[in-house]
Amino acid sequence: MLADALTAIGLILTAFGAGIAARSVILKEDDAIHIGVARWAGETREEDLALPTVQNLLRSSRSARLGLWMVVAGTVLQVMPIAARLAQPML
């Protein structure tokens, strides 16, 4: 029972940590333009968004978020049977 409780706590911490990391890798389009564009690149925001450097930054941000949210989902799936086992003696 103690082992299940510690495992559940560890998985919950993993899920929260992945969630925090996923939120931190969100890169807004304007931020990607500011990071990835030379000051004299495009005339408009749309031109700047089409630049390969900006597209690469946005693609990396989306991939990182997706991967971390998959870690959260996997952790939740692992915690569910442990939570059910821990709740059984209470019923």
Query: In the structure, what pLDDT confidence band is assigned to residue 7 with cuts at 50, 70 and 90?
Result: confident
Cα separation, 53 vs 56, in Å, equals 5
Task: Tell me the pLDDT of the chain averaged across its residues.
Answer: 82
Domains contained in the chain, number: 1
- What residue numbers bound the domain in which 32 lies? 2-90
Q: What is the pLDDT of residue 56?
A: 85
SS3 72: helix
Q: What is the pLDDT of residue 40?
A: 66
Q: What is the pLDDT of residue 3?
A: 81
pLDDT in tens, 17-51: 888 887 777 778 888 888 777 766 778 888 888 88
